[in-house]
Structure 1
Amino acid sequence: MTYIKFLILILIFNQKETESLVCQRCEGWSGRAPPGWIRDVNIECANRNNQCFTSFYCVKIVNPKGRHSTYETYSSQCYDSNQLVTFPGNTISIENDKCYEVSNGGNPPIIKKYCFCRDKDHCNGNSKALLNKIILIILTITIIFNIFCPI
C-alpha cells in the first residue's frame, strides 16, 4: 500500500509541462553600467506582479549592444506560438529550454538571442514545480528511512 501512495505522489508532483504558464513581463539591462546610468530597483525583473499568461512559452530576449559594450538589454515576456522566424523567410519550431539567434536581415544585421522555456512559472526556478520536487524528495527519504530503519 505504501508503494501505491508513493507512485501517486510521484505522478502528482512530477509535472514536466504546465497547461497555463505564468511568465515574467519586464525589461531591463545587465552588465556594467554605461556612464551616467543608474541601476533601477526593478531592473532584474524582481517584481512578480509584472507577469503574463500563455499556453506556449516564456521568452527572454537579449539584445547585445555591440562587441565592445559592457552591458546588454533584455525583455522578458510571453510568446504565444510554437514557431520563430530566425531570419526573414526562415521559420523554425521552438524547443523547450533552448536559445536561438534571431536576425532582422538588415545590413548590418541586428541579432538578438531568444531563450525559451515552458517547464516552470517565471522560468527562474522559484516556482510551484520546484516546491513540489522538494516535497517529493523529503517524502522519498522518509519512506526509504521507514523501510530500512524501522523503529
Structure 2
Amino acid sequence: MAGRHTQAAIVRAGRDLYVKGDRAFWANSLQGRPGTYSIIRELQGKRVRSQAGRAGSQGMCDKRSFLAALDSDTTERTGMTRGAMTTIGGKRALALEKKQPGGEKVTLYVATDGEPYVLKTVTGGGEEPGKALFSDYSTQVEAQEPAADEIVDPAVLEQG
C-alpha cells in the first residue's frame, strides 16, 4: 500500500477504544482476509469497539502503548544516527534514523523544544512502509461513547 494514505479516528471512552477508519485504513488493516470487501462495507461510518480486558485489545491504537512498544527493546535505540533538523506540525524536531535488517529504514522525529516527544515515525524500504503523526500531548479530551447504532462488534473483523 505504498503511497496510499489512510485515516482513522481513535477515541477512548472509559476503558474501551473505538476505531473508525476510512476504506483505505480497513483495507490495509484487513489485508487479504476472505470477505475483506464485505467487512469494509459493514464498517463504513461505524466504529469498532475494542473492549478492555479482551484478548488483543490492550494497546490497540493506543498512543501510549504504541510509544512504549517503540521503546520496549532498548537495542532498538542502539545504532540510531542523528539526522537533519526539521519542523513537524510547527515544532522543531530532530530526525533519529536506523537501518534495520532487510533494508528497512526507521526514522523517529523527536521534539527538540520542551519535552522530547516523538512527533512522527516513518518506516520505508521494507514490506510495510508507513508513517504515523502524533500530536496534542497532554491535551485533555472529553470523549463520549458513540451511539449504539454506530458501534460494530470486533468479531466482524475476525470473520473469514
TM-score w.r.t. the length of structure 2 is 0.28
Greater RCO between the two (CA within 8 Å, min separation 6)?
1
TM-score w.r.t. the length of structure 1 is 0.29
